[in-house]
Amino acid sequence: MVDAGTPRRVHPGTMAVAFLRKAPQNVFAIPVFAGWMSGRGLDWALLIAGVAAAVALFFTWLNWRRFTYAVGPDELVVERGVFSLSRRSIPLERIQDVSIERKPLHRLFGLAEVRIETGGGDADEAVLDSVSLGEAARLRAALRGRHVAAHQAGDEATVTGPHVLPVVFAMTPGRVLLLGLFSFSLVWLAALFGIIQSLDQFVDLGWDQLRDYAGTAREQAQARFSVAAVLMVAGIAIALGVASGVVSTILRDWNFTLRAGEGRFRRTRGLLTRSEVVVAMRRVQLALVQRGPLRGWLGWNALSVQTLGGSNDPSGRQSLAPLAREDEVAQIVSMAGLPPFERLPLRSVDGGHVVRALLRTVPAPLIAIVAAAIFVTPLTLVGLVILPPLIVSALLQRRFHRFALLETSLQVMRGVIVQRDWIVPVDNVQVLTVRQGPLQRALGIASVAIDTAGAKGQGAPDVIDINLPDARELIAGLIAKLD
Amino acid sequence: MLLPDVPLQPLERGQLNAMRLNGAVFFAALAVGSAIPSYALGRSLDWLPVWAAPALLVLAGLWSVLIAAPRRWSRWGWAWTGRELHVAHGWLTRSHTIVPAIRVQHIDVTQGPVERMFGVATLVLHTAGTAHSEVHLPGVSRDTAETIRDAIREKLSSEPW
């Protein structure tokens, strides 16, 4: 075994994975190539294809050869680049997440992708794509400042590590299926249609013919005014939505296992792509409990934590339990060293919140519908049925938006259809902003924005529309605790 | 006043003049830039005088220099309490930002050419936050900016977050 400090390359199998991964792109080049080659001989085509493959292989090899990494006593050094060279050294004590991911191609070659996250701006400061399983386990141990015996066999078991931490949460197949049913989404359906459309440009799927059929079908349907046909189409759409939700959830969350101990959580999940993520507990910035529609009413919660820096989640948060009962969530939260979410001390925001919610949600659709009714057809007035749910949701906003400043944490609850609970340790609050727009000034209210590290996009634990004395008290309380 | 407990200090007068100059330059550039399309439009629509768009922009520039800039300037305020920096601004939507000194990652004092002309500087605090990871305090004198910077620097902890 080589000394820990010497630079090494990623596994040679990486070249095969990279080459195969690029293959689909090249398939699309075939029609172009064929068009250009028409009239020339087959041997020419083979020669050119061979040269192209050789060039691609050469560059893949060059990239592989120029990419080295080394774990020193207190830093990880990654060197890369063919023409412009880059050398990045990451102090070991700054590394906060080491995640291991295995896509289907990786599993085929017995490889794993290791991502090192430090909490800087970039999502991934260093990606080692790819190393053998044994090397991945060794790396993770070394990056945590501990060394395991280097002669680990490269089998499936080593991914979970030599000393297995106790399981604190696991999803049974039944629960994954249930989560899939809840994840009903038409987005996937739209994506599917998008793919069909884009494929249509390359391959003639007979889409126009299909459209003709659809046109005929519509005429027939209009002729008979068949309610059954409409219901059937809606039924198919819903069935596809449910199926796509189930499939995507099973692919992502199959065998979801959360282990905890030694100051870290370790999450493994995935059916085809097995991914493993380590979250250091002291890097947890805040906990977020979400209750989606339907599943929230049935008592199911989703727990995620915000960590510094990258996570594979687009939300910038790590899911620790996608579908869990309240007591399971409370157990994981206390394990993370966070105070429990308490409902009793929560205080409502100002009544002006309802006014603003109504003004934000109702006028725009109302005007659009009425305008359409006047200028297009009175039939669009049917659209007014969407207004009562909007109004009810706006009226309920205040009931579900509450906050409390406790001993060590700020707790915020917000959202009617998707309910969210935040637990923000006061020590993790970075910047406070009080903001007041013209309408808020007229109502005597203001919003308090709480900025934390590592959040991306929506979902900050902001307290919106509280009356000014409450805002001042909250700010003064937070400032007093910041030390 | 969103938080009346914190007495805020106004920006330097120089910043007001810097804002006026910025506004004047901006609208002057727009007015000059609009001359060609305005000429073309004036040729095709005979009721539209050629000087309409530039004149409108000059008026907007006057409004910006004489009314908008002083109004925005007077809404700015800052306070350094020894533990946190307060920065308040905004005329229509008011905001008051609080940066605890111990959360600051690093500090910049910047001075652009216009700012140098009027003897003001901008203090920029960087935190580990996301939405407000950079907090700017413009329009303080260079001495003030450096005093606050040095005061915050003493508070910076070695622990990064």
Q: What is the 3-state secondary structure (H, E, C) of chain B?
A: CCCCCCCCECCCHHHHHHHHHHHHHHHHHHHHHCHHHHHHHHHHCCCCCCCHHHHHHHHHHHHHHHHHHHHHHHHCEEEECCCEEEEEECCCCEEEEEEEHHHEEEEEEECCHHHHHCCCEEEEEEECECCCCEEEEEEECHHHHHHHHHHHHHHCCCCCC
Whether residue A128 is contained in a domain is answered as yes
* Gap between the Cα atoms of A116 and B109, Å rounded: 33
DSSP code, position A149: -
Q: Are residues A47 and A100 in the same domain?
A: yes
Distance in Å, alpha carbon of B96 to nearest chain A alpha carbon: 5
Residues A20-26: contacts with CB within 8 Å, 24+ apart? A20/A105, A21/A105, A22/A56, A26/A52
Distance in Å, alpha carbon of A438 to nearest chain B alpha carbon: 6
The dihedral formed by the CA atoms of A87, A92, A94 and A98, expressed in degrees to the nearest 10:
90
Whether residue A256 is contained in a domain is answered as no
Task: Give the residue from chain B lying closest to A439, CA to CA.
Answer: B93
* CATH number of domain containing A481: 2.30.29
Pairwise CB contact (< 8 Å): B94 & A441: yes
Q: How many CB atoms lie within 10 A of CB A314?
A: 9
Annotated domain spans of chain B:
13-73, 76-155
Could you write out the three-class secondary structure of A406-453? CCCEEEEEECCCCEEEEEEEHHHEEEEEEEECHHHHHHCEEEEEEEEE
- Closest CB from A94, A460, A476 relative to B5: A476
Whether residue A3 is contained in a domain is answered as no
- Can you list the positions of beta strands (E) in A205-356? 257-261, 264-269, 274-280, 284-291, 301-307, 317-324, 347-348
The yes/no answer on whether domain B76-155 falls in CATH 2.30.29.30 is yes
Cβ-Cβ contacts under 8 Å, B94 against chain A:
435-436, 441
Q: What is the pLDDT along chain A (483 residues), one digit of tens a residue?
A: 445 567 888 888 888 887 777 776 666 666 666 666 666 667 777 788 788 888 888 888 888 888 888 888 878 888 888 787 888 888 877 776 777 888 888 888 888 888 887 655 445 567 888 888 888 888 887 776 543 333 333 333 344 444 578 899 999 999 999 998 888 766 656 666 666 555 555 445 455 555 566 566 556 555 555 667 667 777 887 888 888 888 888 988 988 999 888 788 888 898 888 888 878 787 788 999 999 888 888 999 999 988 875 555 555 688 899 999 999 999 999 998 899 998 888 999 998 999 999 998 888 888 988 888 888 777 778 888 888 888 888 888 889 999 999 989 999 999 888 899 999 999 889 899 999 999 999 999 999 999 888 766 667 889 999 999 999 999 999 999 876
What token pair was written down for B24? 């004047």
Whether residue A334 is contained in a domain is answered as no
Q: Are residues A473 and A383 in the same domain?
A: yes
Distance from the Cα of residue A193 to its chain's centroid: 22
* Gap between the Cα atoms of A28 and A150, Å rounded: 43
| Residue pLDDT, tens place only, A88-145 | 888 877 776 777 888 888 888 888 888 887 655 445 567 888 888 888 888 887 776 5
| Residue pLDDT, tens place only, A232-274 | 777 887 888 888 888 888 988 988 999 888 788 888 898 888 8
Number of domains in chain A: 3
Pairwise CB contact (< 8 Å): A482 & B93: no
Cβ-Cβ contacts under 8 Å, B100 against chain A:
479, 482
Q: How many CB atoms lie within 10 A of CB A266?
A: 24
Q: Cβ distance A110 to A131 under 8 Å?
A: no
Q: How many CB atoms lie within 10 A of CB A206?
A: 11
Q: Are residues A84 and A13 in the same domain?
A: yes
Q: How open is the CA angle A65-A67-A70, to the nearest 5 degrees?
A: 120
Whether residue A301 is contained in a domain is answered as no
Assess whether the previous peptide bond of A130 is cis (omega < 30° from 0): yes
Pairwise CB contact (< 8 Å): B95 & A476: no
Pairwise CB contact (< 8 Å): B84 & A479: yes
Which of A225, A250, A275 finishes a domain? Answer: A250
Q: Cβ distance A384 to A368 under 8 Å?
A: no
Q: How many Cα atoms sit within 13 Å of A421 on the Cβ side? A: 19
Distance in Å, alpha carbon of B98 to nearest chain A alpha carbon: 5
* Gap between the Cα atoms of A171 and A140, Å rounded: 25
Check: complex ipTM more than 0.90? no
Q: Can you state the angle between helices A363-375 and A387-400, rounded to 10 degrees?
A: 170
DSSP code, position A166: P
Supply the pTM of this predicted model: 0.75
Task: Please say if the pLDDT value at position B103 is more than 60.
Answer: yes
Q: Are residues A72 and A112 in the same domain?
A: yes
Domain region containing A383: 339-483
Q: Are residues A127 and A192 in the same domain?
A: no
| Residue pLDDT, tens place only, A196-241 | 555 555 445 455 555 566 566 556 555 555 667 667 777 887 888 8
Q: Cβ distance A326 to A449 under 8 Å?
A: no
Taking CB atoms and an 8 Å cut-off, how many pairs form between chains A and B?
90
Q: Cβ distance A117 to A106 under 8 Å?
A: no
* Gap between the Cα atoms of B131 and A461, Å rounded: 12
pLDDT at A192: 61
Which of A250, A267, A302 finishes a domain? Answer: A250
Whether residue A411 is contained in a domain is answered as yes
Which residues, 6 or more positions from A212, have their beta carbon under 8 angstroms from its beta carbon? Answer: none
Q: Are residues A411 and A370 in the same domain?
A: yes
Q: How many Cα atoms sit within 13 Å of B151 on the Cβ side? A: 16
Q: Are residues A110 and A194 in the same domain?
A: no
Whether residue A99 is contained in a domain is answered as yes
Helix, coil or strand: residue A21: helix
- Closest CB from B83, B84, B161 relative to A453: B161
Which of A208, A227, A250 finishes a domain? Answer: A250
Helix, coil or strand: residue A290: strand
DSSP code, position A338: P
Q: Cβ distance A454 to A436 under 8 Å?
A: no
Q: Are residues A110 and A12 in the same domain?
A: yes
What token pair was written down for A379? 């039939």
Pairwise CB contact (< 8 Å): A453 & B96: no
